[in-house]
Amino acid sequence: MKLDGRVIAITGGAQGLGYAVAQQLGQKGARLALLDISGEALDSAVSTLARQGIDAQGVVVDVADEASVVQAFADIAEKQGPVSGCVNNAGITDDALMVKAKEGQVETRMSLAAWQRVIDINLTGVFLCGREAATQMIEAQHEGVIVNISSISKAGNPGQSNYAAAKAGVHALTVTWASELARYGIRTGTVAPGFINTDMTASMRPDMLERIASKVPLRRLGEADNIAQSVAFILDNDYFSGRIIECDGGLRL
Ligand code: NAD
């Protein structure tokens, strides 16, 4: 899909991977709708992009809230027109072992709240935004692309029952939608990043990050632009659908 003049929605677009995606797609001529829960971060992202000559609208949304998502996509359609692309990138972590014990005594357990919050944002949020985006693409009768951001953790990762389950589910949505939506000219794809330098990884302990980097065959964490390149490839390649790009420096968890 040629991006020139196309409206592309990017969730979690105010910083990190979402912002890098915005910058690359904006440089290719896309008109951007950045959806994020943080209005302050959105204002700053939109004005930085404007200084680079990139046209972006900031839309405050909670991707886990149906009414908020429906309203956000209605605002985009009204101000910029129907979306041609949707990059479902917003996500959080809330790590804890499901059950942690010492000498037969259970010390901690992942709470239902920690489970639910990550599933709501990282999985239900992708469903809701994907549904609204597909609806607009079909009603506008133009081609479209939905890109979902998963993670290397989709294969399972200790301390991430909630996150790993959500990220595996995200790719299941990509595969399902590729079959359901192809008849309307809509393609899908997943990008599964490894460990990438953003605020999300900056919150991890430095010694843990060093240990991870030493296990990556390329011996370093990735950069947000590496993920943006993968997203741009899926948008551009007209015979790519329902599949995954793993951009992780070759790391296996
Ligand atoms: P980040 O924390 O830097 O940015 C996430 C963005 O999502 C923020 O702008 C935040 O405000 C927004 N957000 C959070 N909750 C939201 C909600 N309910 N509604 C709308 N917006 C919300 O994270 P990042 O590192 O840029 O990660 C982006 C995506 O990539 C996430 O889905 C993450 O799981 C995935 N990922 C990241 C890494 C990594 O190493 N950074 C690795 C694998 C996967």
Q: Where are the domains of the chain?
A: 7-247
- Asked whether the beta carbons of 179 and 188 are under 8 A apart, the reply is no
CA of 23 to the centre of ligand 1 (A): 16
Give, using CA atoms, the residue closest to atom 10 of ligand 1: 12
pLDDT tens digits, the chain, 253 residues: what are they? Answer: 999 999 999 999 999 999 999 999 999 999 999 999 999 999 999 999 999 999 999 999 999 999 999 999 999 999 999 999 999 999 999 999 999 999 999 999 999 999 999 999 999 999 999 999 999 999 999 999 999 999 999 999 999 999 999 999 999 999 999 999 999 999 999 999 999 999 999 999 999 999 999 999 999 999 999 999 999 999 999 999 999 999 999 999 9
Quote the CATH superfamily of domain 7-247: NAD(P)-binding Rossmann-like Domain (3.40.50.720)
pLDDT of res. 63: 99
Identity of residue 245: I
- Asked whether the beta carbons of 66 and 126 are under 8 A apart, the reply is no
- Asked whether the beta carbons of 171 and 147 are under 8 A apart, the reply is no
Q: What is the CB neighbour count within 10 angstroms for residue 218?
A: 12
- Asked whether the beta carbons of 195 and 160 are under 8 A apart, the reply is no
**CA proximity to 160, closest of 106, 122, 211:** 122
Could you tell me the maximum CA-CA distance found in the chain, to the nearest angstrom? 62
Atom of ligand 1 at shortest range from CA of 90: 7
User: DSSP letter at 83?
Assistant: -
CA of 101 to the centre of ligand 1 (A): 30
- Asked whether the beta carbons of 193 and 17 are under 8 A apart, the reply is yes
CA of 89 to the centre of ligand 1 (A): 6
- Asked whether the beta carbons of 236 and 177 are under 8 A apart, the reply is no
Give, using CA atoms, the residue closest to atom 6 of ligand 1: 12
Active site residues: 163
**CA proximity to 21, closest of 38, 34, 37:** 34
Identity of residue 89: N
pLDDT of res. 148: 99
CA 43 to CA 31: how far, in whole Å? 16
ipTM of predicted complex:
0.99
**Residue ranges lining ligand 1, Cβ < 6 Å:** 11-12, 14-18, 36-38, 41, 61-64, 89-92, 121, 149, 151, 193, 195-196, 198-201
> How many separate helices (H) and strands (E) can be counted in the chain?
9, 9
